[in-house]
Amino acid sequence: MTSPTRTGTRPGGRSARVRADVHRAVAELVSAQEDTLTLPVVAARAGVHPTTLYRRWGSVAELLADVATSRFSGDVVVPDTGSLRADLERWAASVATDVADPEVLALMRAAIGAGEVGACACRGDREEQLAAMLERERVRSGRAPTVERAVDVLLGPIYFRAVLTDRPGTPEWARGLVTLLLPE
Amino acid sequence: MTSPTRTGTRPGGRSARVRADVHRAVAELVSAQEDTLTLPVVAARAGVHPTTLYRRWGSVAELLADVATSRFSGDVVVPDTGSLRADLERWAASVATDVADPEVLALMRAAIGAGEVGACACRGDREEQLAAMLERERVRSGRAPTVERAVDVLLGPIYFRAVLTDRPGTPEWARGLVTLLLPE
DNA sequence: ACGGGATCGCAATGATCGTTGCGTTAGTGC
DNA sequence: GCACTAACGCAACGATCATTGCGATCCCGT
């Protein structure tokens, strides 16, 4: 009746544990290059009954989208050094390092293969993080690149190399991208 | 014993027709957002017996990689207007238009989900096309950006928006990327 | 034309998947 | 603590998948 409860949804306790186990199982199986990623397989790995997965997620695509969402919307601390360039360099290097991890990369590829929802989930909060840093600079100096430009120049190449290449970019390379956005 | 024949591989006639039918079936099913992409389903759509697919491709992942390879390594005419900027603008707009097509996009996402081989196949010959245009400019004026830079600035954002976003870039936007590579 | 061998169709089989009805467990608010 | 009910486990089922042996087809070089 009031607000928080509604019609008993139940996010804690065993449900949360099952959810965590399933997510971990997906991550493990996906990074192991298993070509047979099905709900029963995930269930067996997670020590959960397959029926649970069918009821909670319905399909592999939705499960992958959910896993990707909760993996990439982690609470990342946005750098705040006082200098936009330094912030962006640190942030870009951090993103490049993250997506270069084989396990993360495998999850991204799988989520992308699951459809548009899963694909978009791989960006996580990164555009908003970028927007936050740029907004701070705008308050500070009155001038800053648009978020759109920053996404194109930083996120574009980093994700491209990771996802569509067999050689993901290094953190140092990612730092160098900032020069394209902020001519010295 | 000479060279071209080796041990009777057989690329023409019915084999070629079956291959074409299967490729078309995959493209149709993938663009139809079918979440159940299995070899029997593809076989039924292509009017071919499932056994054939199991023997020739073995798995959905390998089939998708093959389809992506032959789809994205098409013979594209590289623009040659005499001006690097014009060449790149035309080429970037063309690439952006291609990857914005829902059918192409669906195939890319599926191929990416199939693993690294399929993911890399989605780039096709585009890096080499870029290299060709840049090399021409280098011969012409002695100076040109590196292929690496051009890939980062052009291919990166175009693919990023298409694959990891629900709003692929427009051709006009893609033309604008050239300014980042070639300051006016 | 013609023979060899690669490729395909067919059929049968075991394994796995996806779904559903029902009973049990265990969060959640009182 | 107690009742309510969401969430899970269990078992059975039909459907589909993946594999294999065998015979027919037809591409390809001679």
- DSSP 8-state code for residue A170: P
Count of Cβ atoms closer than 10 Å to residue B140 Cβ: 12
Interatomic separation, CA of residue B171 and C1' of nucleotide C21, rounded (Å)? 55
Tell me the torsion sign for CA atoms B147, A111, B170, A151: negative
Q: What is the pLDDT of residues B69-115, one digit of tens each?
A: 999 998 788 999 999 999 999 999 999 999 999 999 999 999 999 99
According to the model, what pLDDT value does residue B184 have?
75
Instruction: Flag whether residue B113 sits within 8 Å of chain A, measured between CB atoms.
Output: yes
Angstrom distance (rounded) from CA B71 to CA B34: 20
Is residue A39 a contact partner of residue A66, using CB atoms and an 8 Å limit?
no
Q: What is the pLDDT of residues A91-111, one digit of tens each?
A: 999 999 999 999 999 999 999
The answer on pLDDT for A125 being more than 90 is yes
**Cβ <8 Å between B116 and A166:** yes
Higher pLDDT, A22 or A76: A22
Average pLDDT, chain A: 93
Whose structure tokens read 């959910």?
Answer: A66
Tokens of residue A105, six digits: 């990369």
**Cβ <8 Å between A152 and B152:** no
According to the model, what pLDDT value does residue A1 have?
36
According to the model, what pLDDT value does residue A118 have?
97
Confidence of residue B7 (pLDDT cuts 50, 70, 90): low
Is residue A126 a contact partner of residue A155, using CB atoms and an 8 Å limit?
yes
The answer on pLDDT for A5 being more than 60 is no
According to the model, what pLDDT value does residue B59 have?
96
Q: Find the helix or strand (DSSP H, E) in which A42 lies.
A: helix A39-46
According to the model, what pLDDT value does residue B8 have?
65
Q: What is the pLDDT of residues A27-67, one digit of tens each?
A: 999 999 888 999 999 999 999 999 999 999 999 999 999 99
According to the model, what pLDDT value does residue A168 have?
97
Q: Which amino acid is at B27?
A: A
According to the model, what pLDDT value does residue B35 have?
83
B-chain residues near A166 (CB < 8 A):
116, 120
Angstrom distance (rounded) from CA A73 to CA A125: 6
Instruction: Write the DSSP string, A117-132.
Output: HHHHHTTTTHHHHHHH
Tell me the torsion sign for CA atoms B48, B50, B54, B55: negative
**Cβ <8 Å between B116 and A122:** no
Q: What is the pLDDT of residues B128-176, one digit of tens each?
A: 999 999 999 999 999 999 999 999 999 999 999 999 999 999 999 999 9
Nucleotide nearest to A39 (CA to C1'): C17
Confidence of residue B11 (pLDDT cuts 50, 70, 90): confident
According to the model, what pLDDT value does residue A75 have?
78
Instruction: Flag whether residue B122 sits within 8 Å of chain A, measured between CB atoms.
Output: yes
Residues near B102 by beta carbon (within 8 Å), at least 6 away in sequence: B31
Instruction: Look at the pTM and tell me if it is higher than 0.75.
Output: yes
Burial code of B141-167, b = ≥16 C-beta within 10 A, e = fewer? eeebbebebbbbbbbbbbbbbbbbbee
- DSSP 8-state code for residue B146: -
